[in-house]
Amino acid sequence: MAQKTSSLIQRCRFLLLMILFLPRVMTSSVLSVNGKTENYILDTEPGLQESLKCAVQNHTRDEELLWYRKDGRVDLKSGNKINSSSVCVSGISENDNGITFTCKLQRNQSMSISVVLNVTFPPLLSGNDFQTAEEGSDVKLVCNVKSNPQAQMMWYRDSGILNLETHHRIQQTSEYLQLSITKVKKSDNGTYSCIASSLIETKTKDFHLIVKDKASTVPIEPVIAACVVVFLTLVFGLIARRKRIMKLCRRDQDPQCRTAL
């Protein structure tokens, strides 16, 4: 009977320990941002303002929070650190696309949650509007583009789709559309339009190409030869003139000589 009582007491102690331990497991701390407990992408637009609120759920004590923008730590006020913390992203621009904000638990920074900004905006085009090239030279028309979502791009010429010739070559990346023209001709003269189409909007930028006549070049070898001939002629002329002057001077010194050659 005593053994049964002892065994029952041990079981009760074990159950009591389990009851005390289970709440700790079930109430382990969890981080959330704007109510979400997993990393997520936040869709936004230029000019908007976004607020990110990080909170510790199921905490059993006060927890200090840290915010990071990419790899840089955000400076938080003293009243904006314990158990919940908010950061405000104002004046959102195209350059904020892809920026990551991460909230971490200070005592255990492996516990974190991140938000990535997805800034959507229409195509932004830039480049050299006017180019002047000499006939026979090489030309590159570069249309720079920024867009989210990525835009489909094409070259037009004089309001029509560009017909690629053998001396034309197109290269495209996510950042630019380039038209290379080797040994440009007079017929390449005109207006080239870079057209970028995205799900948001279609944008156009014009590039004006002016092809000049090839400058006439004078062969340098004949010029050098002519200069040498002129120089030698002048030298020989000066030498001959000097000899004649010397003879005249000698005759002037001889009074018996009155006939000049």
What's residue 197's pLDDT?
97
**Single-letter residue type at 203:** K
Residue 157 belongs to domain with CATH number:
2.60.40.10
Is 172 within the bounds of a domain? yes
**Mean pLDDT score, 19-37:** 70
Is 106 within the bounds of a domain? yes
- Is the pLDDT at 245 greater than 90? The verdict is no
Token look-up 């053998």 returns 166
Choose one of 78, 100, 119: the last residue of a domain.
Answer: 119
Choose one of 119, 135, 150: the last residue of a domain.
Answer: 119
**pLDDT tens digit sequence for 90-115:** 999 999 999 999 999 999 999 999 99
pLDDT band at 234 (very low <50, low <70, confident <90, very high): confident
Is 20 within the bounds of a domain? no
What's residue 244's pLDDT?
66
* 134 and 208 together in one domain: yes
DSSP calls for the chain: -HHHHHHHHHHHHHHHHHHHHHHHHHT--EEEETTB-S-EEEEE-TT--EEEEEEEES-SS--BEEEEETTEEP---GGGSBSEEEEEE-S--GGGTT-EEEEEETTEEEEEEEEEEEE-EEEEEE--SEEEEETTS-EEEEEEEEEESPPEEEEEETTEE----TTEEEEE-SSEEEEEESS--GGG-EEEEEEEE-SS-EEEEEEEEEEEPPPP---HHHHHHHHHHHHHHHHHHHHHHHHHHHHHHHHHH-TT-----
* 149 and 194 together in one domain: yes
Is 18 within the bounds of a domain? no
What's residue 22's pLDDT?
44
What's residue 252's pLDDT?
53
The percentage of the chain sitting over the pLDDT mark of 70, rounded to a whole number, equals 74
Query: How far apart, in whole angstroms, are the C-alpha atoms of residue 21 and residue 92?
Result: 46
Pairing of strands 130-134, 202-212: parallel
What's residue 185's pLDDT?
93
Query: How far apart, in whole angstroms, are the C-alpha atoms of residue 130 and residue 261?
Result: 73
Is 257 within the bounds of a domain? no
- Domains in the chain, number: 3
* 126 and 111 together in one domain: no
**Single-letter residue type at 117:** L
Choose one of 69, 86, 119: the last residue of a domain.
Answer: 119
- Is the pLDDT at 79 greater than 60? The verdict is yes
Token look-up 């109430």 returns 27
* 102 and 131 together in one domain: no
> Of the candidates 199, 212, 74, 206, which has an alpha carbon nearest to the alpha carbon of residue 135?
212
pTM given for the model: 0.68
* 91 and 126 together in one domain: no
Beta-carbon neighbour count of residue 186 at 10 Å? 10
* 165 and 154 together in one domain: yes
pLDDT band at 159 (very low <50, low <70, confident <90, very high): confident
**pLDDT tens digit sequence for 143-154:** 999 999 999 999
* 200 and 127 together in one domain: yes
Distances (CA, A) of 6 to 10, 12, 18, 19, 183: 6, 10, 19, 20, 102
The domain in which residue 159 lies consists of 122-212
* 99 and 126 together in one domain: no
